[in-house]
């Protein structure tokens, strides 16, 4: 059994979730303590660890990534988004894509697996549109008011960087690079200074489109709809469904909704946990084998981050 030393920068609930996942893996490890009061380049125990997880508030990522790119030779897992200020974009040119990895866990989720299965079983054609609505009224809770996520100084992109970035990256993963982006962010509930609601419209290089609505202000709803040339896939927070074929007509010859030909039940919390588990497992596997991550992962992270700012890559 391989043994590794692991350091966590950040000790919140998400760090605890990741530690639980690692504890159930077939590896031997010890945890290296990070001291926030001391510059990281002065902490030999941290710099000598095999793996570092950056699970701290978004506004701290850039500084950690810059320093680790200079002083650290191990593997780095950084939660998304990589950065949350446009002025820190140079970070992508500093980090080694072979050793640095960003936790876009939807890349490793049941969402993609179900879609791929549907495409293998049915003549769906190309995907032409993604429509996502993800919301829950986090901003009405007292915890939100005291959270860094509600403060525009710490979270300048608001709900976009904390919730929307997941689905921007999912759209990039499924439909490719972005050539146009339109973003509208607003603060509806006024519980903090950061935007709590946002709408994206993305046009991808091949002509496909994505519409993404995310909110910490409106009522709880989870909806993902993937439209293909000859069929559709949907997720409602508890169940995936595939509708096929396109040529489905009623007795009067008018088009009607096709039958559900493939379905799978999975609760959204389990969907998230499984995707996080798969993401961490992939990262650990590469780190333990001393291999390089696919540089395409960093490229997609850059594209998604630029879209978060309402911009596209040249």
Asked whether residue 218 is assigned to any structural domain, the reply reads yes
Whether the pLDDT of residue 314 is over 80: the answer is no
Q: Give the model confidence (pLDDT) of 275-305 as tens digits.
A: 999 999 999 999 999 999 999 999 999 999 9
Query: Any idea what the CATH number is for the domain that residue 248 is in?
Result: 3.30.360.10
Could you read off the pLDDT of 18-34 as tens digits, one per residue? 999 999 999 999 999 99
- Predicted confidence at residue 232, as pLDDT, reads 98
Indicate whether 60 and 180 sit together in one domain: no
pLDDT, tens only, 110-133: 999 999 999 999 999 999 999 999
Chain segment 47-58, per-residue pLDDT in tens: 999 999 999 999
Q: Can you name the residues that pair with 8 across neighbouring β-strands?
A: 53
At 313 the pLDDT is 79
Q: Can you tell me the mean pLDDT for 33-40?
A: 94
pLDDT of residue 2: 83
Handedness of CA 169, 170, 172, 178 (dihedral sign): negative
Q: How far is CA 165 from the centre of its chain?
A: 6
Render pLDDT for 247-257 as a digit per residue (tens, 0 to 9).
Answer: 999 989 999 99
Instruction: Give the chain's domain count.
Output: 2
Other CB atoms within 10 A of residue 262 CB:
16
> Quick one: pLDDT at residue 66?
97
- Assigned domain for 300 exists: no
For residue 79, pLDDT over 80 is answered with yes
How far is the C-alpha of 185 from the C-alpha of 255, rounded, in Å?
37
pLDDT of 224 above 80: yes
Are 155 and 80 contained in the same domain?
Answer: no
> How far is 178 from 155, CA to CA, in rounded Å?
24
Dump pLDDT digits (tens) for 127-169: 999 999 999 999 999 999 999 999 999 999 999 999 999 999 9
Residue 1 reports pLDDT greater than 80: no
Model confidence at 170: pLDDT above 90: yes
164 and 32, same domain (yes or no) = no
Element (H, E) at 161: none
- Taking residues 28-45, report their average pLDDT: 94
- Asked whether residue 22 is assigned to any structural domain, the reply reads yes
Residue (of 133, 117, 134) closest to 231 by Cα position: 117
pTM equals 0.94
Phi then psi for residue 237, to 5 deg, are 100, -10
Domain that holds residue 88: 3-104+278-292
Query: Does one domain contain both 38 and 183?
Result: no
């Amino acid at each position: 059994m391989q043994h590794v030393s692991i350091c966590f920068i950040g000790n919140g609930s998400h760090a605890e979730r990741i530690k639980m996942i690692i504890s159930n893996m077939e590896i031997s490890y010890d945890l290296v303590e990070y001291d926030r009061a001391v510059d990281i380049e002065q902490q030999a125990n941290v710099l000598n660890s095999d793996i570092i997880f950056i699970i701290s508030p978004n506004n701290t990522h850039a500084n950690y990534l810059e320093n680790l790119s200079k002083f650290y030779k191990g593997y780095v897992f950084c939660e998304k988004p990589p950065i949350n200020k446009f002025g820190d974009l140079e970070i992508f040119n500093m980090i080694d894509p072979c050793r640095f990895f960003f936790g876009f866990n939807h890349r490793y989720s049941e969402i993609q697996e179900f879609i791929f299965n549907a495409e293998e079983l049915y003549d769906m054609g190309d995907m032409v549109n993604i429509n996502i609505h993800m919301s829950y009224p986090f901003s009405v809770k007292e915890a939100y008011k005291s959270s860094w996520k509600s403060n525009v100084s710490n979270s300048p992109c608001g709900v976009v960087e904390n919730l929307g970035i997941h689905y921007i990256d999912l759209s990039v993963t499924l439909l490719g690079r972005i050539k146009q982006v339109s973003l509208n962010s607003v603060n509806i509930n006024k519980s903090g200074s950061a935007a709590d609601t946002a709408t994206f419209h993305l046009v991808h290089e091949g002509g496909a489109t994505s519409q993404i609505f995310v909110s910490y202000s409106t009522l709880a709803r989870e909806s993902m709809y993937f439209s293909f040339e000859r069929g559709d896939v949907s997720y409602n927070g508890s169940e995936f469904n595939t509708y096929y074929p396109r040529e489905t007509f009623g007795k009067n010859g008018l088009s009607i909704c096709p039958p559900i030909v493939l379905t799978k039940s999975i609760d959204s919390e389990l969907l998230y946990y499984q995707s996080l588990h798969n993401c961490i497992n992939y990262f650990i596997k590469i780190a333990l084998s001393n291999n390089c991550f696919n540089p395409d992962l960093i490229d997609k992270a850059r594209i998604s981050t630029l879209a978060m700012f309402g911009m596209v890559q040249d």
